[in-house]
Amino acid sequence: MTAFFVKRLAFSVITLFGVLTIVFFIVRVLPGDPALVILGDQASQAAIDAMRDRLGLNDPLFTQYLRFLGGALVGDWGVSMVSGRPVVEEILKVLPATIELTVVSLILGAVVGIPLGVWSAVRRNEVPDYIIRIASLLGLSLPAFVSAILLLLMFAITLRWFPVMSSGQGDTLADRARDLALPAINLGLIMSAYITRVARSAMLEVLNQDYVRTAHAKGLVFNVIIWRHCLRNALIPVVTVVGLYLGILIGNSVLTEIVFNRPGLGKLIVGALNQRDYTMLQGMMVIYTLIVVLVNLLTDLVYGLIDPRIQYS
């Protein structure tokens, strides 16, 4: 287990370098000029040159790469070109709100999705299965902003159960929960659609295994077979896939934050885009990379906890 952990940790560090490198080069190799992006089409050549100089874009590519990497590692991600405050500070200010939203949604997604997926698999090709499959297919067909708007129309505008705008900075716990409810439901239900489907197909595969037949042959009760023998095996692919869906979760959180006007990384990145805050964008890429790598590490660990074959090797 320790060896496994150390190995995954080392992998994560390598991955971190890899992604930072890829992100850096995607941005630099693409034909767009950051200076032009910042200043707009009407800018004079002199202004563009000055901006390029200020951003260090006239240095050799490799120097820029080293500077980017070095800065990223020591937490010096530059100063926002709009607010003038350090990028790290701006990001850390809104990060908790995004983490709060995604973690609550993920829990909601798992709590709803896993039982539904198991139920659907057990009742394969029966009415509950059909209903769950259609519903989950609808769930993952909904772009997050569409479902967010529909929820907003329904519960905030028509029924007025929840606030239209959520501050995410409410004073009391109840306030925070009210603010969090709709965005978390939006994100959580979409996540549960994905989890339901993975849990269903994983469960179907497990139900077909020889050891399930063995369990039946021992005379075990159906529920014991499902929840004790099958679920843990089925969770192995579910955990992997949830790790892979992290990207979708993050993308959806951006859209959700915009619709509900909730502070977080999503609003920050869109703001940076609109105001052409180049350093902020670069910082955002680093933080997203960090999140992705960290969550992948976490998935691996959970995986190791579930699958005994990993603990031993």
Partner 1 sequence: MSAPVLNVENLTVSFRSGEAWNSVVRDFSFTIDAGETVAVVGESGSGKSVTALSIMRLLPERQSRIEGRISLSGRELTALPEPEMRNVRGGEIGMIFQEPMTSLNPVLTTGFQLIEALRRHRDMDYAAARAEALRLFDLVRIPDAARRIDEHPHTFSGGQRQRVMIAMAMACRPKLLIADEPTTALDVTIQAQILGLIRELQTEYGMAVMFITHDMGVVAEIADRVEVMLKGDGVESGPVEQVFANPRHDYTRRLLAAVPKLGALGDTATPRRFPDLTTTPPEPEPGPEDDQRGKEILAVQGLVTRFDIRGGVFGRVKKRVHAVEDISFDIREGETLSLVGESGCGKSTTGRSILQLEQPRAGNILFEGRDLADSNKSELRALRRRMQIIFQDPYGSLNPRKTVGAAIGEPIRVHGLKSGAAVEDEVVRLLELVGLSRDHVLRYPHEFSGGQRQRICIARSLALNPRLIVADESVSALDASIKAQVVNLMLDLQREMGLAYLFISHDISIVERVSHRVAVMLSGRIVEIGPRSEVLNRPVHDYTKKLIAAVPVPDPSQRRIRTGLIEEELPSVIRPLDWQPAPSKMIEVGPDHFVLQDDST
Partner 2 sequence: MNSHVQRGAYLRQTFRAMGAGLYSAFNTNKTSWIGLGLFGFVVFVAVFAPWLAPYDPIDQNILNRLKPPSADHWFGTDQFGRDILSRIMYGARISLVIGLLAITGALIIGSAIGVIAGYYGGILDIIIMQIMDVLLAFPALILGLIVVAMLGPSVTNLAIAIALTAIPPFARIARAPTISVKQREYLSAGRALGFSDVRLMLGHIVPNILPEILVMGSLWLATAIRVEASLAFIGLGVSPPTPTWGGMIREGFENILDSFWLAFFPSMAILLVVFALNMLGDGLRDAIDPRLKDAG
Question: Quick one: 10 or 107, whose CB is closer to partner 1?
Answer: 10
- Exposure string of 4-23, with b = 16+ CB inside 10 Å and e = fewer, is beeebeeebeebbeebbeeb
Confirm or reject binding of residue 127 to partner 1 (CB under 8 A): no
Minimum separation from the CB atom of position 67 to partner 2 (A)? 19
Question: Could you say whether residue 255 binds partner 2 (CB under 8 A)?
Answer: yes
Please give the size of the binding site for partner 2, defined by CB under 8 A: 58
In the bound state with partner 2, the residue whose beta carbon lies nearer, of 1 and 137, is: 137
Give, as one character, the DSSP assignment of residue 263. Answer: -
With CB under 5 to 8 Å by kind, the binding choice for 112 among partner 2, partner 1, none is: none
Cα 97 to Cα 99: distance, rounded to the nearest angstrom: 6
Residues 222-241, one symbol each (x = binds partner 1 by CB under 8 A, - = not), give ------xx--xx--x-----
Pinpoint the alpha helices (H) of 208-277.
210-217, 222-224, 231-244, 246-259, 265-274
Using left for φ > 0, alpha for ψ between -120 and 50, and beta otherwise, residue 277 falls in beta
- Determine if 118 is a binding residue for partner 2 (CB under 8 A): no
Candidates 176-184, 203-211, 246-254, 260-268 — which segment interacts with partner 1 by CB under 8 A?
203-211
Out of 2, 3, 31, 159, the residue judged to bind partner 2 by CB under 8 A: 31
- Both tokens of 186, joined, read 């939006």
**Interaction of residue 216 with partner 1, rule CB under 8 A:** yes
Question: Number of helices and strands (H, E) in the chain?
Answer: 15, 0
Pick one of partner 2, partner 1, none as the site partner of residue 66 (Cβ within 5 to 8 A by kind): none
Q: Is 143 in the site for partner 2 (CB under 8 A)?
A: yes
Looking at beta carbons only, is 260 or 304 nearer to partner 2?
Answer: 260
Q: Does 93 bind partner 1 (CB under 8 A)?
A: no
Q: Which two tokens stand for residue 170?
A: 């409410």
With CB under 8 A as the contact rule, the residue among 9, 107, 111, 137 that binds partner 2 is: 137
- Answer yes or no: are the C-beta atoms of 14 and 63 closer than 8 Å: no
Q: How far apart (Å, rounded) are the C-alpha atoms in residues 13 and 25?
A: 18
Tell me the closest approach of the beta carbon of residue 73 to partner 1, in angstroms.
20
Q: Compute the residue count for the chain.
A: 313
> What is the torsional sign of CA 209, 215, 218, 222?
negative
Residue 61: in which H helix or E strand, if any?
helix 61-74
Q: Which residues bind partner 1 (CB under 8 A)?
A: 3, 6-7, 10, 209-211, 213-221, 228-229, 232-233, 236, 306-309, 312-313
